[in-house]
Amino acid sequence: MKPAPFDYHDPATLDEAVSLLGRLDDDVKILAGGQSLIPLLNMRLARPTALVDLGKITELDYIREDGGAIAIGALTTQRTVEHSQLVRERLPVLYEATRLIAHPQIRNRGTIGGSLAHADPAAEYPAVALLLDAEFKIRSASGERTLGAADFFVTYLTTALGPADVLTEVRFPLLANGVGWSFIEMTRRHGDFALAGAGATLTLSGDECSGARIVLFGVDATPVRAKGAEQALVGQRLSEELIASAAQIAREETGEPLSDNHASAEFRRHLAGVMTERALTEAAGRAGWTN
């Protein structure tokens, strides 16, 4: 297996990359860590006429706390996120999500921006970005714009990014003190893409649930909020029964998941409910709930 021929560009700066992308035709692909793109090239499922390799652009490799958010440069590797003390202490849900991505060899090369721009519906970063309502900074020859996670993911492997756009930074808002969180998934084998997964954040006032956010992944064309389940929780006294009924709603809210040789649509829908129940229980525990 060999990629089809392509024209190769390796700009040294973001400005250079953006102006290059402005000049090239629409058949160009951006190469970051390559952990999703190069398999597609090898199998010739993707045959771009040109690659713009961002690998030399060191200015997009950073993690910092900035105005109530963790800002991460798009070319930061998953391994760097995993090893970041800042992420671990200030936004452990992002650390947990990172640990679930593939294997160490993949995380050594794979970047956060690449993973988000690739937008696999079963991948962890798109889901955690939607869970935390992350902001995406995008540069093109015509300037900079910012999109929220809800507007960024469009459908399978498709985002709001145009062919000349470069995702430069993603900003994950910090969770307020006391907010419980969870991020879990079910895989056939350790490191595989999730059959289904769930992320949850939960806030308690006494024993009443005062805020909840639930994101499911692997069950639809993009990660999705389970809004009905969220609404069923808020304003109610938290109990095992309440969590179970929210999970049931999440399961029913799930659209038509893929059926493939890993799992049927029905099994994925079932898993969406199970993952929701477990994620809510874990998040509630971290929010101080003692049932």
Partner 1 sequence: MDELMTDNRKVKVTVNGVKYEASAEPRTTLVDFLRAELGLTGTHVGCEHGVCGACTILMDGRSVRSCIMLAVQADGAELTTVEGLSIDGQLHPIQEAFRESHGLQCGFCTPGFLMTIFELLEENPNPGDEEINEALGGNLCRCTGYQSIVEAVKIAAARSAS
Only one residue has tokens 């949850």, namely 200
* Closer residue to partner 1 (CB): 111 or 201: 111
Among 13, 58, 105, 231, binds partner 1 (CB under 8 A): 105
Q: Minimum distance between the CB of residue 55 and partner 1, rounded to whole angstroms?
A: 6
Q: What sign has the CA pseudo-torsion 256, 184, 251, 254? A: negative
Q: Is position 191 an interface residue for partner 1 (rule: CB under 8 A)?
A: yes
CA 256, 262, 268: angle at the middle one, nearest 5? 35
Contact 203, 285 (CB under 8 A): no
CA distance 92 to 163: 33
For the segment 115-174, give every residue that binds partner 1 (CB under 8 A): none
| Near partner 1 in 20-39, by CB under 8 A | 31, 34-35, 38-39
Nearer to partner 1, 2 or 23 (CB): 2
Shortest distance (Å) from residue 45 CB to partner 1? 10
- Taking the C-alpha atoms of residue 83 and residue 169, their distance in angstroms, rounded to an integer, is 18
Binding status of residue 239 toward partner 1 by CB under 8 A: no
Q: Which residues pair with 71 in a beta bridge?
A: 64, 171
Segment lying near partner 1 (by CB under 8 A), choices 40-48, 143-151, 172-180, 205-213: 40-48
Q: Which of 162, 57, 73 is nearest to 112 (CA)?
A: 73
Tell me the per-residue interface mask from 53 to 92 with partner 1, x by CB under 8 A, - otherwise.
x-x-----------------------x-------------
- Our finding on whether 190 is near partner 1 (CB under 8 A) is yes
Toward partner 1, which CB reaches closer, 65 or 192? Answer: 192
Neighbouring residues of 93: CB distance < 8 A, sequence distance ≥ 6:
128, 131, 132, 175, 181, 182, 183, 199, 201
To the nearest whole angstrom, how small is the minimum distance from the Cβ of residue 39 to partner 1? Answer: 4
Shortest CB 52 distance to partner 1, Å: 12
Which residue in 12, 13, 22, 42 binds partner 1 (CB under 8 A)?
Answer: 42
- Residue pair 138/116 in contact (Cβ under 8 Å)? The answer is no
Minimum distance from residue 37 beta carbon to partner 1 (Å): 9
Max CA pair span of the chain: 62
Q: Which is nearer to partner 1, 5 or 68 (by Cβ)?
A: 5
Does 242 sit near partner 1 (CB under 8 A)?
no
| DSSP string computed for 181-219 | EEEEEE-SSTTSPPSEEEEEEEEEETTEEEEEEEEEESS
* Contact between 203 and 178 (Cβ < 8 Å): yes
Closer Cβ to partner 1, 75 or 250, answer by number: 75
- The position carrying tokens 């409910």 is 273
Residues making contact with partner 1 (CB under 8 A): 1-8, 10, 31, 34-35, 38-39, 41-43, 49, 51, 53, 55, 79, 102-106, 108-109, 189-191
